[in-house]
Structure 1
């Protein structure tokens, strides 16, 4: 029996990294897909593209953190409308941070979602 050793080489693809970050904005365009599309891109390319695993984990952490913050701010709506302010801030940060990190990814820098909770390390 012959054993065939198959090696895959990781390539650098900054455009795909930037598109992975920008695909989070699908929530604002279509209403869904802002978590699923980056997750699919991350899981299908994490071994083929250099730094995709790091960027994918950052995106997943950010999306899960945004969801938790939104859920926590809903009861705060009853407290003088503080939840509405929190939801507005989260919507702005959810729009701006993927764009900033797409630019960082295209420049070869590591992602920085400073409000995200580290679920994946």
Structure 2
């Protein structure tokens, strides 16, 4: 036999040499990648946009409940206009970061409550010339109607912006 190495031995030697020369890439599990969904929001079979899910920590039923409480609290305390903003303010401050719907409804309810306070103060001052005696009940009636409509919309998780309201807080 000859002293020359066989071709199989040469291939094995080259492979062993390459393994020693290349550094180890990583030890442990392979890196993971995150795939983000792109494109338009999901739609239902009717072509309507799918409803948004409530943020973590706030269920849809809780959103409905707090939205209705916010508006009905304003309605009940609206007998004394200066108190009409207390319930919407408390509910909004507690839930504004937990739910976009409650943030929007809270801002709208606060805008209306402050407008209502100003309106009833002006109407009260106008009682000196008797026109206020007609306007005060109309202002209260507007408050009752708008609070009921807003509570129904909140119960349906739909947006509602009170009409004829001074925008102290921007509603999204």
TM-score range, shorter chain: 0.7 to 0.9
Tell me how far 1:28 sits from its aligned partner. Answer: 5.3
TM-score, length-scaled by structure 2: 0.58
Does the Cα contact within 8 Å between 1:66 and 1:94 map onto a contact in 2? yes
Instruction: Tell me, in whole angstroms, the C-alpha distance in 1 between the residues paired with 2:110 and 2:78.
Output: 17
Higher relative contact order, structure no. (Cα contacts within 8 Å, ≥ 6 residues apart)? 1
Question: When the two structures are aligned, how many residues end up with a matched partner?
Answer: 113
Instruction: Tell me, in whole angstroms, the C-alpha distance in 1 between the residues paired with 2:85 and 2:122.
Output: 19
The farther-off stretch of 94-103 and 20-29 is 20-29
The structure where helix makes up a greater share of residues is 1
TM-score, length-scaled by structure 1: 0.80
Instruction: Tell me, in whole angstroms, the C-alpha distance in 1 between the residues paired with 2:75 and 2:124.
Output: 22
- Report the counterpart of residue 126 of structure 2 in structure 1: 76
> Are positions 1:9 and 2:38 aligned together?
no
> Are positions 1:18 and 2:68 aligned together?
yes
1:52-67 to 2 correspondences below 5 Å: 52-67=102-117
Does the Cα contact within 8 Å between 1:62 and 1:117 map onto a contact in 2? yes
1:1-121 to 2 correspondences below 5 Å: 9=56, 11=58, 12=60, 13-27=63-77, 33-79=83-129, 81-121=130-170
Does the Cα contact within 8 Å between 1:46 and 1:52 map onto a contact in 2? yes
